[in-house]
Amino acid sequence: MDRKEKLNSLKYSIINSIIPILIAFGIGAIAIILAKENPLSAYGTLFYRSLFNIKGIFNTLHFAGPLILTGLAIAISFKAGLFNMGIEGQLLSAGFVVAVMGNVWGELPKTVLVPLLLVVGVLVGVIVAIIPTMLKAFYNVNEMVVTLLLNYAIIHILQYLTENTFRDPTSGYVSTPRISSNAIPSRIFEDYRLTTFFNTKNFFKCDSFKDL
């Protein structure tokens, strides 16, 4: 591929990335107008509070952690020509198990517990992903359909476990028992939510696994 073809390919890639974003903003603007609000004011507040001040940037990185990790995870399967639509179920499953074990193993020191839970989360995600993988390998079942439908099954299973088997009876809302502070990575700065493991924070970002 010569230089001109590479530039054209890059140009189309950029356009294909920007157009869906603009469409999403356009649809959002229509919804805001229907709510009798100013879309420019709403979007201005959104961008300012998330990107144009220090606290907003750090908090954005904190909450972007799950998206960063799931994006990296799904990119690997896409690169292999497989369509893993079950990343949501894999993420929720890993988050649930880590939340429960973060309470059970809460007495372990943070230097041991945080890496241990990270490994546990990865293993749980892999185990969930093995189900459609085996169906694809041995029965040639379409992985897109299986992984997509598996999300709904996992959500309902975790909802049942959260509301019943692993529900915290002392909590005023539906949740698993509170995660030990030793299971949560330390913040880089005291006033901001961003931690040293911000890109893996999807497993640790809440006190418990709540409200599926």
Residue-wise pLDDT tens digits, 112-155: 999 999 999 999 999 999 999 899 889 988 888 999 999 999 99
Banded model confidence at residue 211, pLDDT cuts 50, 70, 90: very low
Predicted pLDDT of residue 2: 66
Is 90 exceeded by the pLDDT of residue 63?
no
Predicted pLDDT of residue 197: 66
19-23, 35-39, 148-152, 193-197: lowest mean pLDDT where?
193-197
Question: Which string of DSSP letters, residue by residue, matches the chain?
Answer: --HHHHHHHHHHHHHHHHHHHHHHHHHHHHHHHHTTS-HHHHHHHHHHHHHSSHHHHHHHHHHHHHHHHHHHHHHHHHHTT-----HHHHHHHHHHHHHHHHHHTTTS-HHHHHHHHHHHHHHHHHHHHHHHHHHHHHH---HHHHHHHHHHHHHHHHHHHHHTTT--TT-SSSBPPPPPGGGSPPBSSTTS--BTTGGGGGGTSSSS-B--
Is 60 exceeded by the pLDDT of residue 201?
no
Predicted pLDDT of residue 156: 96
The rounded percent of the chain whose pLDDT value lies above 70 is 92
The pTM assigned to this predicted structure is 0.77
Is 90 exceeded by the pLDDT of residue 53?
no
Residue-wise pLDDT tens digits, 157-167: 999 999 999 99
